[in-house]
Amino acid sequence: MTIGIWVLGDRLSQQQTALKKYEGKKQEVAVILIESSNYARQRLYHRQKLVLVWSAMRHFAEELKQDGWQVTYAIAVDFITPLQEWIKAKKISELSLTEPSDRSFTEFVKSLELNCQLKLLPDNHFLWTKAEFQAWADQGKRLLMEDFYREGRKRFKILMAGKKPVGGKWNFDKQNRQPPKQSLTTPDPITFKPDTITHEVIDWVNAKEFSNYGEIEPFNWGVTRQQALQVLEHFITKCLTNFGAYQDAMITGERTMWHSLISPYLNLGLLEPAEVISAVEAAYYRQELPLNSVEGFIRQVLGWREYMNGIYHYMDANYGDRNWFEHHHSLPDFFWDANATNMNCLHQTLTQIEETGYAHHIQRLMVLSNFALIAGISPQEIENWFHSAFIDGYDWVMQTNVIGMGQFADGGVLASKPYAASANYINKMSDYCSDCSYNRSDRTGEKACPFNFFYWDFLSRHRDRLSSLGRMNLVLSHLKRMSSEELAQIQTQAETWWQQQK
């Protein structure tokens, strides 16, 4: 029997199950990595996303070769052709691979007609297995992330003092919502100059015209595990102290603030969640870092990341098709061209994404997703855009984050209320409104901020449905006090805005 291992582009770790199982038989096992042009053209991917994935794959292939593995690297139109040729040439009798994170790709792999046995090995790039998450979800009355997070803290003994949380509280959210100050001095992010391999990938992406979305250079992302570890160390030593307090703040020109920038590396497999959490927790005890920062970050990895992956696999396959509010507007063109909008918060955020493929979680949730929600954009269209535009985007990431959390399209599986807000929130947590052509205070009129009239129009359109959510009653009470004349103006302005997009 000849064993073959297919290493996928988001499983670039020698700790992955398939490689780990056969690490003592490197000379007897064949390994393949495949770049598929057709797969890259399924979406209008950000060009830096394509460069990151393919450069990381090529670097990982070289790492495996240097470590004694027998590696084939294929660049092809599709996956099946080089896979079949390799299976025949190497006389593969059993093809092993670590189970893909995305449900659709798992089904694709299972559908392939291969002249050998296919063996999917358990995914070990999350702390919770699918079975463990399902057992947790089935035993509880609610699927709240906070409950799951606390269970994770106990299970893995993270920031625990016996049976109680360190500091006496499970989270420090109230300390982590500081608005930006004008005098903030933020650290520069760590960047990496493209090497020969990365330059070759940049040239390849340009030559083949896989996508015209996003700037391809300057490309500053790391593409190896060693570089990913440097990013983690930089975050811990330079950013973690102030990460907590200002993690929700947004400032013009400040693209990374104190954020970690490790999500692309976690999602590629270059970093493992357990090692990230351990490193941050160890730094807390060693350096006496602020607990609100340390806990706030660990909640993102141990809480949100694990929870989103768990929900993705726990829900039915049609979860991504949900549309609780029945929103059907098409995605405005300015999501693909930041210069096409005069809303400064959107312009700043979208410009940043075009140039880097990145925006932090509040820009994603309270600017981009918020606008899509209150304006009535199709959840599936905005989810597709998120998946395409972001450097860390994958199906398991974006379905739950966008369909569930950002758009409330699942009707409350993930959240107890929609994340909907007017310009008031954006003005509080950013400096965007101070340099905008719209007036952040106006709900109607020529200078009215679209976030304002869309917000109140959203509440009005869905007041019956929203009234079933207890946490929305206070907001809906404000709607009741609005005059019928002003509400009519708001509704007209919302309709007119959409007519102008056609």
Over 271-339, what HEC string results? CCHHHHHHHHHHHHHHHCCCHHHHHHHHHHHHHHHHHHHHHHHHCCHHHHHCCCCCCCECCCHHHCCHH
453: confidence class by pLDDT, cuts 50, 70, 90:
very high
Instruction: Residue 361: count other Cβ atoms within 10 Å of its Cβ.
Output: 15
Is the distance from CB of 160 to CB of 153 less than 8 angstroms? yes
Q: Which domains are assigned to the chain?
A: 3-121 (3.40.50.620), 130-194+224-314 (1.25.40.80), 321-500 (1.10.579.10)
181: confidence class by pLDDT, cuts 50, 70, 90:
confident
Query: Quick check: helix, strand or coil at residue 250?
Result: strand
Question: What contacts 396, CB < 8 A, 6 or more positions away?
Answer: 101, 102, 103, 308, 309, 312, 313
Check pLDDT > 80 for residue 182: no
Of 184, 185, 248, give the one whose Cα is nearest residue 429: 248
184: confidence class by pLDDT, cuts 50, 70, 90:
confident
How confident is the model over 409-425, as pLDDT tens digits? 999 999 999 999 999 99
How far is residue 349 CA from its own chain's centroid?
15
* CA gap 259, 216 in Å, rounded: 22
Q: What is the pLDDT of residue 173?
A: 87
* CA gap 264, 358 in Å, rounded: 10
Of 280, 274, 285, 287, give the one whose Cα is nearest residue 260: 280
Instruction: Residue 499: count other Cβ atoms within 10 Å of its Cβ.
Output: 8
Q: What is the pLDDT of residue 1?
A: 73
Is the distance from CB of 7 to CB of 86 less than 8 angstroms? no
* CA gap 297, 68 in Å, rounded: 37
Q: What is the pLDDT of residue 243?
A: 95
Q: What is the pLDDT of residue 110?
A: 96
Instruction: Residue 65: count other Cβ atoms within 10 Å of its Cβ.
Output: 13
Check pLDDT > 90 for residue 207: yes
Check pLDDT > 90 for residue 174: no
Give the pLDDT mean for 215-241. Answer: 98
Exposure on the CB side of residue 482, measured as CA atoms within 13 A: 20
Helix (H) or strand (E) holding 496: helix 484-500
Sheet containing strand 94-98, edge to edge, reads: 70-76, 29-36, 3-6, 94-98, 117-121
Check pLDDT > 80 for residue 183: no
Of 16, 100, 109, 105, give the one whose Cα is nearest residue 64: 16
For residue 365, give the amino acid letter. Answer: L
Q: Rg of the Cα trace of the chain?
A: 24
Q: State the average pLDDT for the chain.
A: 96
Of the chain, the percentage scoring pLDDT greater than 70 comes to 100
* CA gap 9, 20 in Å, rounded: 17
Give the pLDDT mean for 253-268. Answer: 96
For residue 197, give the amino acid letter. Answer: I
Helices and strands, counts by H and E, the chain: 24, 7
Structure tokens at 391: 């450097």
Intra-chain end-to-end CA distance of the chain, in Å:
61
Q: What is the pLDDT of residue 368?
A: 98
Structure tokens at 38: 């057709």
Is the distance from CB of 33 to CB of 59 less than 8 angstroms? no
Check pLDDT > 90 for residue 470: no
Q: How far is CA 98 from CA 14, 15, 67, 276, in A?
A: 11, 10, 19, 21
How confident is the model over 279-300, as pLDDT tens digits? 999 999 998 899 999 999 999 9
